[in-house]
Structure 1
Amino acid sequence: MQQGQRGSFQLMKSLNRSIILNKIRVDGPISRADIAKETTLTPPTVSNMVKELLSSKMVVEIRQGESSGGRKPTLLTINSEGSYLIGLDIGPKYLRCISTDLMGNILSSSIEPIPFPITNERLLEVVKHQVGVIIDFHKGDSRKLIGIGIGMHGVVNVNLGEALYAPSLQLRNIPLKKELEATFNTIVFVENDARVMALGEMWFGNGTTSNHSITINIGRGIGAGIIINGKLFHGEHFIAGEIGHMTIDISGGKCSCGNYGCLESVAAGPAIAERVKRELSLGKKSIITDLINNDLDRIDGRLVFEAAQKGDQLCEEILQQTGRYLGIGLTNLIHIINPQQIVLAGGVSKAGDFIINSLIETIEQRVLTLDAKKTEIRVSKFEDYATAIGAITLILEHLFSPSSTIGS
C-alpha cells in the first residue's frame, strides 16, 4: 500500500492559501480578480497561490464568467475529485469509517464491530485495518489522501491526539494520532465524538447559521459539543460538554462514573432499557415482551422505540419521561450557554416526537425568559454517520480556516 503524503496537507495550510481556498469553497465558482477584490490579498499573490493550488489539483478551472468589458474571466472551484478525506467514528460498539471529497460528500463507508475483550493494541489494529480498506477503495492511492479525522467517545487530549479515557471500552491513553500518522504518513486529528458532531453540524448540517450552538449526542452515553462564537469549546482539561454527568436527581441511581443521579443514568439508552425491565418486573404489561420472547436481557432502546410505535403505553410513557429528564438537562445548558439552537444526535434522538415533545414542553416550563424558551431544538440529519462526518470536518477546518494551526 502506498503511504500518504503529509506534504499535500502542508502545501495548502498557509494563511494565504487558506484564505483563497475558503473563498473558493464558500463563493465559488469565482474569478481570481474577485478573490483579490474580496480579500486583503494582492492580485499577484492570488495568481501565484492559485497556480500552486491548480498544480496540486485542489482547485480546478471551469467555464468562463461574464465579461465586464474585457476578456471573460476564468472561474475557479474546489476539485471534489482531486483528493479525499477519511473520517472515523470509534464508538462503544462499532467502528464506522467513511471517505469524502473536500465538499463533505461521502464516497465510501464501512462499519466493523469492535471485538471484545479489547486492548489498546487490538483497537489500533482494527482502526488501521479499516483505514486500509478505505484506501484500497480509492485504488490504493494514498497520495490523494489529505488527512484522517477521528471522533472518539470519552475524554480526548486534542493537542496530543490521544484518547485519555474511553469509558465504554474501559481503555486509557490510546495514542491514535501518533500511531496512525506513523503508519499512513498523513495528518491525523482526534477529537471527542460529541464535539465533532457539533463541528459537522456547523459546517454541513442544522447548525450552519448559528454562532452559538450545542449538539447533544444521546446514545449509550450523553455528551455535548459546544460551539461558542463559531469555535469548539474544550474547557481547561478537555471535559467541557460532559453533560451526561450533570446531576439531575441527587437521590437517583448510581451512574457508570460512580456518582448518583447523573443525566446519563436516567436518559441514556441503557437507562431507558433498565426502566422498562424494572416496570415489567413489577408486573406492568407491555407488548415488548412479545418482541423479546420474554428474554428481558434483549431489551434495548431500539426495541422500546419499536414498541412505542406500535402503541405500547408503557414504552411511550418511559420515552416521554426520558424527554422530561433531557429537558431538565437542556434547560441547565440554556441557562449557562444561552445557545441559538440545540441539535440532538445519537441513537436515542431517533425516538423523535416520543421524546422531543416532552423535552420541549419541559424547556418551555422551566427556562427563564420568553426568547430563551424558544431556543430552537432540532434533530441531526446525519443519523448514524454524524460522528464520522464531523470527523472529516476536523481536517476541513484546518484547511479552510486561516486561524487554525496544525498539531505537532
Structure 2
Amino acid sequence: MKKGSFQWMKSLNRTIILNKIRTDGPISRAQIAKETKLTPPTVSSLVSELIDKDLVIESEQGESIGGRKPTLLVINSDRFYIIGLDVGAKKIRAILIDLSGKTLDKTQTIIPKPISNEDLLSLIKRTISDLASIHETKEVIGIGVGMHGAVDVETGTSLFAPGLNLRDIPIKKALEAEYDVPVKIDNDVRAMAFGEYWFMEEKKDENIVTVNIGIGVGAGIVLNGKIFHGKYDLAGEIGHMTVDLNGNQCSCGNIGCWQTLISGPAIGEAAIKQLELNPNSHLLDMIDGEKHKIEGKTVYEAAIAGDSLCIKILEKTGEYIGIGLTNLIHILNPSKIIIGGGVANASPIILPKIKETIAQRGLTNQAKATPIYCSDLGSFGTAIGACALILGEIFEGDVSVVG
C-alpha cells in the first residue's frame, strides 16, 4: 500500500488554501488571496508546494479582468485515497474513497466470536490490506475508524467494545505502526454524524445531531462543524436519559431509559407482549409461532405487509422517539436531526409520527419545525464517516472539540 504525506499538509495556511480550493474551485491564486486574507506571495508559494505534491492541479484559465487570463486551481481528487472502517459488534465494514468522497471500493468481514484483542487487530489489518491490495497503485493518505462502544479519541484506544466484550484495544497505535499513515479513531455514532455533516450536498448546517437507533441508542453531535465529545467523551449517550420512572430496566442498570422504548430489541419485546392480547396477528405466521425470533426487523416486515398490531407498535415507537428528540431540540436547538441505524429503516411508518409528536410538543414554532431526516448513507454510513474524519483533518484541521 502506497502512503501519502499527511503531516506535511497540516499547517494552518496550507489547510486554509486547500479547503478554499476544495469548496470554491476552480479558483485563481488572486481570488484565494483576496478571500482568505493571505498575502499573494504566501498563496503563490504554498500553491506551488501543493502542486509539487500533486494535491492541487491547474485545470483551466478563468476570465480576464484586464490582463492575461488567470490559471484556475482544483483539488487533484484522484491522487490520494482514504480507507474508512466501521468496527461493529458483528462485522467490519471497510470503504476506499478519493479526496472528493467518491467511493472506489468497499468490503465487509464477519467477526468470529469469541475473539481476543490481538485477533481483532489482525482481522482489522487483514481487512485493510485486502482492500488496499486490490488498488495497489492508490496512495493512501490516512485511515479512519468508527469503533462501537467507548473510545479514547486522543490515544485512539477502544476502551470497551460491549458487542465483542473487549477492552483497551490500541487500534491507532497498532495501525500506525503497521501502515505508517495517520489513523483517526472515534465512536461509531460520532463518526457517522461527522460523515452526515461532511457529505451534505447543500450548504452545510453547522449544528446537527445524528441519532443512531439500533440494538442500542446513541447520538453524534456536531457543533460549529466539529464533533462534540464532552469532558470525558460521554456526550451523546442520550439512549440512557430516563424517560419513564416506572419503565423497564436498561442494560446499563437504570430504569426507564429511552433505549428501553425505542431500540430494535425494545420493539421486538413490545411485540411479544402485545401478541398475548392479539393472537391473530400476521406476525405469528412469519415466525412460525416461535416468539423468540421476533426482533425489530420482523415487526417492520409485518407492518409493511399490513399487520395492524405491528403498525401500532411502530407508530408508538415513533411517538417515543419524537418525545426524546423534542427534549434534544430544547437542549441543543440543532439545525437538523438525522436518524440512522436499523430502526430508521422503518421510516415510512415512524417518521410521520416523530414529526407529529415534535410538532405537538415543541416549545416554539421554530422548535416544532426542526428538520428531521432518516440517513441515506446506508449500511456503510459509519465507514464513510470514518473517512470523513481524515478528510476533515486535511481540509479543516482538528475536527473534534471537548467540553
Same-fold status (TM-score > 0.5): yes
* Whole-angstrom distance in 1 between the partners of 2:247 and 2:176: 44
Give the structure 1 partner of residue 226 of structure 2. Answer: 231
**Match for residue 280 of structure 2?**
285
**Could you say which residue in structure 1 is the equivalent of 2:194?**
199
Of 156, 159, 163, 2:154 maps to 159
Please name the residue that 2:30 is paired with.
33
Q: 2:72 is paired with a residue of what secondary structure?
A: strand
1:65 and 1:73 in contact (8 A); partners too: yes
Correspondent of 1:304 among 294, 299, 306:
299
Is it true that 1:69 corresponds to 2:66 in the alignment?
yes
Q: How does 1:212-291 map to 2 (within 5 A)?
A: 212-291=207-286
Q: Displacement of 1:293 after TM fit?
A: 2.5
Structure 1: 5+ residue runs without aligned partners? Answer: none
Structure 1 residues 85, 326: CA separation in 2 closer, same or farther (over 3 Å shift)? Answer: same
The question of whether the paired residues in 1 share the 8 Å contact of 2:278 and 2:309 is answered with no
> In structure 1, how many angstroms separate the alpha carbons of the residues matched to 2:398 and 2:129?
31
Distance 1:201 1:225, change over 3 A: same
- State how 1:20-169 maps to structure 2 within 5 Å: 20-139=17-136, 141=137, 144-169=139-164
With over 3 angstroms needed to count, the CA separation of the structure-2 counterparts of 1:404 and 1:169, relative to structure 1, is closer
Aligned equivalents of 1:40, 1:372: Cα separation in 2? 37
Alignment gaps of 5+ in structure 2: none
Q: What does the per-residue CA deviation read over 1:340-396, in whole Å, with 9 as the maximum and x for residues that have no partner?
A: 111111111110131111112221222222221111111112121211111111111
Asked whether the equivalents of residues 153 and 186 of structure 2 are also in contact (C-alpha less than 8 Å), the reply is yes
TM superposition shift of 1:282: 4.9
How far the C-alpha of 1:303 sits from its partner, in A, is 2.0
Separation of aligned partners in 2, 1:364 and 1:134: 46
Structure 1 residues 206, 381: closer, same or farther in 2, change over 3 A? farther
Q: CA deviation at 1:77?
A: 0.7
Matched, 1:335 2:330: yes
**CA contact under 8 A between 1:285 and 1:314: conserved in structure 2?**
no
Deviation at residue 283 of structure 1 after TM alignment: 4.9
Secondary structure in structure 1 of the residue aligned to 2:46: helix
The separation in 2 between residues aligned to 1:122 and 1:325, in whole angstroms, is 40
Could you say what secondary structure the match of 2:6 adopts?
A: helix
Please give the root-mean-square deviation of Cα atoms over the aligned residues, in Å: 1.7
* Structure-1 residue corresponding to 2:168: 173
Question: For residue 383 of structure 2, what is the aligned residue in structure 1?
Answer: 388
Shift, 1:404, TM fit: 5.7
Q: d(CA) in 2 for partners of 1:287 and 1:245?
A: 33
Deviates more, 1:24-33 or 1:121-130: 121-130
Q: Percent identity?
A: 52
Aligned counterparts of 2:343 and 2:330: Cα–Cα separation in 1: 23
Would you say how many aligned residue pairs link Structure 1 and Structure 2?
400
Mapped contact 1:206–1:343 kept (Cα < 8 A): no
Cα deviation for residue 73 of structure 1 reads 1.6
Deviations 1:11-39 (A, max 9, x none): 21111110110000000011112111211
> Structure 1 counterpart of 2:115, which letter?
I
CA distance 1:403–1:232, shift in 2 (3 Å) = closer
Q: TM-score when scaled to structure 2?
A: 0.95
On the 8 A contact 1:249/1:260 being kept in 2, the answer is: yes
Residues of 1 paired with 2:200 and 2:305: CA distance? 31
Contact 1:206 1:380 in 2 (8 A): no
Q: Distance in 2 between matches of 1:247 and 1:133?
A: 44
Q: SS of 1:96's equivalent? A: strand
Whether the 8 Å contact between 1:320 and 1:355 is mirrored in structure 2 is yes
CA distance in 2, matches of 1:281, 1:191: 43
Determine if contact 2:54/2:79 at 8 Å carries over to the other structure. yes
AA matched with 2:7: Q
Partner of 2:3: 4
How far has the Cα of 1:154 moved from its partner?
1.5
The residue identity in structure 1 corresponding to 2:145 is I
Partners of 1:245 and 1:236 in 2: how far apart?
18
Q: 1:347 aligns with which of 333, 342, 347?
A: 342
Deviations 1:129-149 (A, max 9, x none): 11111211212x46x111011
After superposition, what is the alpha-carbon deviation per residue over 1:134-188, rounded to whole angstroms, capped at 9, x for unaligned? 211212x46x111011111221111111111222222221111111111111100
Q: In the TM superposition, what is the alpha-carbon distance from 1:197 to its structure 2 partner?
A: 1.6
Q: Per the alignment, do residues 330 and 404 of structure 1 end up closer, same or farther by CA in structure 2, a change over 3 Å counting?
A: closer
Deviation at 1:332, TM superposition (A): 1.2
What's the secondary structure of 2:38's corresponding residue? coil
Which amino acid is 1:134 matched to? L
Task: Please say if residues 63 and 70 of structure 2, whose CA atoms lie closer than 8 Å, have aligned partners that are also in contact.
Answer: yes
Q: Is the 8 A contact 2:207 2:223 kept in 1?
A: yes
Where does structure 1 differ by over 6 angstroms across 4 or more consecutive aligned residues?
none
